A and B are shown apart, each in its own frame.
Chain A
Amino acid sequence: MNTMVKDSVETLPACQPLTRRQIAERLARDIPEGWYVNLGIGAPLQVADYVPPEREVIFQSENGILGMGPAPAPHEINRWLINAGKQYVTLRTGGSYMHHADSFALIRGGHLDLCVLGAFQVAENGDIANWATTTDSAPAVGGAMDLAAGTPRLWVLMEHTTKTGESRLVRRCSYPLTAIGVVKRVYTNLAVLDVTPDGFAVREMVPGLTLAALQEVTDAPLRLTAT
């Protein structure tokens, strides 16, 4: 674990960090029509709420759904239709079902355009740690390693720092790895960053934030993206 605790986000001057929902909304803006997308359980699932229905983006769920729609109204629940987070969902017109081996062939064969995962840490070389932090409870990986290794474009949605102010953007992950060298972009409550061969490049920051202030709360070295 990185023991160096940086200044917490709350002390950042004159800027308003995004809420989880606002990060999802920001990320959703970058998903163009026509993409096939898997959203990881937890915060990434909220991204679907910010893709307008007239923009045809097709969401996949690991348990065999292509063309997943939003949560149903209470009287319209199909009790055999859940997403990977085990919440009731709907099927969009044009959606289809498949079994688990086909569902993961789709993932592992690189057919998706995008996967969005949450993470504990992302390293400047694109490594991601998102499945285990401690040995207290039984390890549980789900489909994270398949999605991370198999999807050509992996974006991470996460808070920039932990609750105690430790950077989640690190030089090397200290938590158990999910996959190596796969993350392409990170959306946090403070910034959007690309993972490049030269490390993290900042694409944008919340208004009022400076690169120097962002660097203060980030373990890995940052630079502005070349424009």
Chain B
Amino acid sequence: MLARRFGDFATAEDAVQEALLAAATQWPAEGLPDNPRGWLVQVAYRRMIELVRGEAARRDREDRAARRGGDDRRTAPAADEPLTADRDDTLVLLFLCCHPTLSTPSAIALTLRAVGGLSTAEIARAFLVPEATMAQRISRAKQRIRSSGLPFRMPAEDERQARLAAVLHVLYLIFTEGHTASLGDDLRRVDLSEEAIRLTRAMHALLPDDSEVAGLLALMLLTEARAAARTGASGELISLAEQDRSRWDAAAIAEGTALVTRAMARGPVGPYQLQAAIAALHDEAPTAERTDWPQILALYGVLDRLTGSPVVSLNRAVATAMVHGPAAGLAALEALAADPRLTEHHRLDAARAHLHEMAGDRDAAARHYRAAAGRTTSRPEHDYLLMRAARLASGG
């Protein structure tokens, strides 16, 4: 809200931080004000004016005055003024943090800091980098927003969809980053997957009619529902087929399934809804054998046409094998192998290995599992693939 009134994101954020600090010291002693939110806004507002005035003394006043506009912006709102603009402001902030001019790591860091409200130290710890490095990443992102002169307002209708896609992509990356194995300090790290779900839930509340926002939230819930079963006692990966399904989170599955069902009925259907629908079919299967693979294959077909993503084509080939047998799947994979985006990708070899194993060709399967292990940059995946190869080689 402050950022919107003043058009200055970085200073507004500092002002809000100081208001929160004031609240933390005053409220315990003096008791909670009647309207805590209004109180915070008012304190932040006064601080913002001080900051802006101090700034203006140093900088070119005329330039600022020209951009600032009417006098009403210098009047603090009453503490009990209803904050009708809140909803839009959160959205505008998200659009700004995920702006395409920012690099992806910067967009992620800024979103967690400015929208998620995490401290720089928490974000640094979550990504296992020093706090000074993360602080630089955030301040450079703010600098970039400032120097590019991006206005603090809702993107125009014609670019809204593209900008929304960028926001959803950033939220999705935060979610998957949460699956990174860390070196024994889980308790001190923020759970990025939970954080991504929280942010996407907030976004869904702001845009309840957007089917892709609902689809992304559903995808996250339906994936996170399997989290407890995904790794074993020593952190090793357990494949979907071998997971203990009784450990899946039934409430999350029910919520995710209901969300994606409603979203797809309303449409328009997009990639996140399709991926969520596929996740729902996996989650609803009582056993791996009873998975509705024909339905999954059909959904991958639509997703493939919609995205043209090579990784989707790869998953489609695996689904083909589950419906029409490993030979059909392997033939589909060979057709993909020439794609330069896939030739060096460990998942091509992992998929080949899996289908050769299905077909009973243990040597070829072991060879491809080893090749995939050599190419992945994920430690748990590497260990899993190597173990699969070793099991085949030793006749296990």
The answer to whether A binds B is: no
Interface residues, chain A, CB within 8 Å of chain B? none
